[in-house]
Amino acid sequence: MNNETLKSNPLLCDIETGMCETTEGHKETATNNNVQSTKKSVKLIYYTDPICSSCWGIEPQLRKLKLEYGDVIEMDYRMGGLLPDWNYNSGGIGKPSDVASHWDEVSLHYDMPIDGDLWLEDPLDSSYPPSIAFKAAQMQDNDKAMLFLREMKEMIFLHKKNIAKWEHMEDAAKKVGLNIEKLKTDFETSAKALFEEDLKLGRKLGVRGFPTIFFVDEAGNSETVYGTRPYAFYEMAILKLNPNARKSEYSKNWETLFKTYPTLTAKEFSELSGTPRVESEKQLNELVEKGNLKKHPTKNGSIWTIVNP
């Protein structure tokens, strides 16, 4: 796969840069005046997309960041519109099935389970519907919206569910306790405008791919981390803006971690518990044998769920 192919198609994520590029490319670079932070000392404006495979790769780092710096940071999730539709054919990628093998490759690179067969079995026409549904969820409850987004990601990456279909969005919403009737109404009306606002701000900030995170302090000073990077990159961005930020200590035993995050991949458990990766998988499998966890395997890895949260 050459670089031109990567640059021309938003669903082909560049493993070297850790980004899924947009079709629009760079518009403007972010300046300190583009964004303002409120409440906590550092605001993170996170540009993502429900079907962004590199954004799935960043989940272990983000989950750890929330545990260690949750008292310091405020997360503002924004939708970037990765796949408007399939009205293009460039770089040899013109149909969903062309993405399947790439997702399998990305899965191995990030050590996060992704089953690319979705694109062969029930492909999405666009990532806009789940993006708009997320904005509708935010209108109800921001915490539940985060859970809703995670649920949709697990659906698409591990369960091969086409999350552009309302039935799957509805299932995810029910699972996290959202008001379905309100979600449907907002999805069909007000949430579309909020999604357009995200796209507009993204163009203003020069977002060219996902994940992109803008770290902004109360004075408007900013740091930007492009792509999926090791944890230290995100931590350094926070500390550069707030050198006095202190990380919180948190319990690293499996039960506490699963009570915080009811589903964890082996990579996530390793990142959060500080356990070596191979040992992590062994420990998780032992907990399945004891009846504490359930395991959902895919061809490219597994995810574990707590039985009695």
Task: Say yes or no: 13 and 133 in one domain.
Answer: yes
Residue 229 lies in a domain: no
Confirm whether 52 is domain-assigned: yes
Residues 190 and 258 in one domain: no
Q: Look up the domain containing 20 and give its range.
A: 3-209
Residues 199 and 280 placed together within one structural domain of the fold: no
Kindly state whether residue 243 falls inside one of the protein's structural domains: no
- Do 274 and 143 lie in one domain? The reply is no
Residue with tokens 């799935």: 56
User: pTM for this structure?
Assistant: 0.89
Q: Based on the domain organization, do 298 and 158 belong to the same domain?
A: no
Query: Which residues does 199 contact at the CB level (< 8 Å), separation at least 6?
Result: 79, 80, 81
The number of folded domains in the chain is: 2
Domain membership flag for residue 127: yes
Q: Does some domain include residue 223?
A: no
The whole-number pLDDT of residue 10 equals 65
CATH code, domain carrying 165: 3.40.30.10
> Does residue 248 fall inside a structural domain?
no
Q: Where are the alpha helices (DSSP H) in 91-141?
A: 100-110, 118-121, 128-140
The position carrying tokens 């009205």 is: 87
pLDDT confidence of residue 1: 40
Terminal-residue alpha carbon distance, the chain: 43
Based on the domain organization, do 174 and 263 belong to the same domain?
no
Read off φ and ψ for residue 78, nearest 5 degrees: -125, 140
Q: Using one digit for the tens of pLDDT, what is the confidence trace for 223-241?
A: 999 999 999 999 999 999 9
- pLDDT score of 25 more than 50: no
Does residue 249 lie within any of the structural domains? no
The residue from 209, 239, 272 where one domain ends is 209
Please determine, for residue 300, whether its predicted confidence score (pLDDT) is greater than 80: yes
Tens of pLDDT, residues 101-112: 889 999 999 999
Query: What is the chain's percent helix, strand, coil content, to nearest 5?
Result: 45, 15, 35
pLDDT at 2 exceeding the cut of 60: no
In this prediction, residues 154-159 reach a mean pLDDT of 98
Same domain, 203 and 286: no
Indicate the SS3 state at residue 210.
strand
Which one of 154, 174, 209 terminates a domain?
A: 209
pLDDT band at 36 (very low <50, low <70, confident <90, very high): very low
The answer on 274 and 173 residing in a single domain is: no
Domain end point (choices 144, 176, 209) = 209
Looking at the structure, tell me whether residues 77 and 148 fall in a common domain. yes
Question: Domain check: are 203 and 267 in the same one?
Answer: no
CATH number reported for the structural domain that contains residue 286 in this entry: 1.10.10.10
Q: Are 192 and 117 contained in the same domain?
A: yes
Measured CA to CA in angstroms, residue 307 lies from 38, 59, 179, 252, 279 at distances of 38, 22, 25, 18, 21
The reply to whether 190 and 273 lie within a common domain is no
Position 63 scores a pLDDT of: 98
Q: With respect to residue 233, please indicate whether it lies within any of the assigned structural domains.
A: no
